[in-house]
Amino acid sequence: KLVVLGSVNADHVLQVPSFPRPGETLHGRNYQVIPGGKGANQAVAAARLNADIGFIACVGDDSFGINIRENFRMDGIDITAVKMQPNCPTGIAMIQVSDSGENSICLSAEANAKLTAAAIEPDLERIRQADYLLMQLETPLCGIEKAAQVGKDANTIVILNPAPARVLSDELLACVDMITPNETEAEVLTGVTVTDAESAQQAANILHAKGIQTVMITLGAKGVWLSQDGRGDIIAGFRVEATDTTAAGDTFNGAFVTGLLDGLVLESAIKFAHAAAAISVTRFGAQTSIPTRKEVEDFLAQ
Ligand code: ADP
């Protein structure tokens, strides 16, 4: 069984001709509200790929929060620990996508800020019972640290996707079994700019020294640098026509853990995750882009 702990966001996406300057008013188009949030994306990815998964999260009691909780259930997620916060909006991301393809994003944590160490007290037994615990960094650190410690003490394998990038304590990193930073996050955690195999291994070694056995640095279209016990190699990704890379990392993480739950060895779980993430970059949006198990199997059979 897998437990994902993390954020839920409503992504308010607007296409803009260019980003408005201070005081300027522009006309956007194609407004959409798309379910997002790194925690929710990773939970949905695992569920669509048929993982036995429970989600620990906080949503608001607004219509988005009520509906998204029901959507999680329909995707096959155990929502017992998805808590509805009274008089509180669900977390949001205001996203502008310019015609040149750049984006500009402003987040507000809202209900996600309530996922504290105290709030997850009722869920600790779930974490102890789980085989894997998967987390990111869009919810309060005290809750993440508590969950990681409880997971470590119970021999639950703790997987951290350290996104968005921030500096983390040695105490937290010592509870982590596997870490999946992208290049930016790896640099923030280690101070090493990842540009090639040598620098990737240098960054990985710093994370190994903090007590993390498996380091996977995701390299976008290039794939992943996988390092265990000081030895690493690249596991290449799949070549596809990318239209929107939103949630590529989230799909990768949810699919990777699902592969491990299915009993795949590391390299095979990474290949499975590359396939799921590659499909997601060919589609628009966060949760709208995450494939089903059948779609990934068909892709791998090509
Ligand atoms: P993040 O989205 O968190 O920054 P990356 O950009 O490193 O993470 O991408 C995570 C994973 O998504 C990659 O390891 C790969 O499997 C897949 N991926 C990302 N971009 C592409 C792409 N352009 N083509 C194919 N796969 C991609």
Ligand 1 binding pocket includes 220 (Cβ within 6 Å): yes
Sheet containing 9-16: order of strands:
29-36, 9-16, 91-98, 103-108
- Which atom of ligand 1 sits closest to the CA of residue 251? 12
The predicted model gives 160-165 an average pLDDT of 97
Residue 253 has pLDDT above 90, yes or no: yes
The predicted model gives 178-182 an average pLDDT of 98
ipTM of the complex: 0.98
**Residue-averaged pLDDT of the chain:** 96
CA of 63 to the centre of ligand 1 (A): 32
| β-sheet bridge partners, residue 282 | none
Q: What is the pLDDT of residues 117-141, one digit of tens each?
A: 999 999 999 999 999 999 999 999 9
Ligand 1 binding pocket includes 181 (Cβ within 6 Å): no
Q: At 141, which amino acid appears?
A: L
Ligand 1 binding pocket includes 277 (Cβ within 6 Å): yes
**Which protein residue's CA is at the shortest distance from atom 23 of ligand 1?**
221
- The C-alpha angle with vertex 221 and arms to 93 and 276, in degrees rounded to 5, equals 70
Q: What is the pLDDT of residues 63-99, one digit of tens each?
A: 999 999 999 999 999 999 999 999 999 999 999 988 8
Token pair 């929502």 is found at 79
Q: What is the pLDDT of residues 91-106, one digit of tens each?
A: 999 999 888 878 899 9
**Which protein residue's CA is at the shortest distance from atom 13 of ligand 1?**
220
- Which of 11, 62, 75, 250 is the catalytic position? 250
The predicted model gives 257-281 an average pLDDT of 97
CA of 121 to the centre of ligand 1 (A): 34
Confidence of residue 246 (pLDDT cuts 50, 70, 90): confident
Ligand 1 binding pocket includes 218 (Cβ within 6 Å): yes
Catalytic site includes residue 250: yes
Shortest CA distance to 6 belongs to which of 174, 113, 135?
135
What pLDDT, on a 0 to 100 scale, did the predictor assign at position 284? 85
CA of 89 to the centre of ligand 1 (A): 30
- Which atom of ligand 1 sits closest to the CA of residue 246? 2
The predicted model gives 158-174 an average pLDDT of 97
Question: 29 to each of 1, 32, 97, 157, how far by Cα in Å?
Answer: 42, 9, 10, 44
- Domains belonging to the chain, first-starting first, are 2-18+28-301 (3.40.1190.20)
Cα separation, 121 vs 83, in Å, equals 12
Ligand 1 binding pocket includes 278 (Cβ within 6 Å): yes
CA of 12 to the centre of ligand 1 (A): 22
CA of 246 to the centre of ligand 1 (A): 9
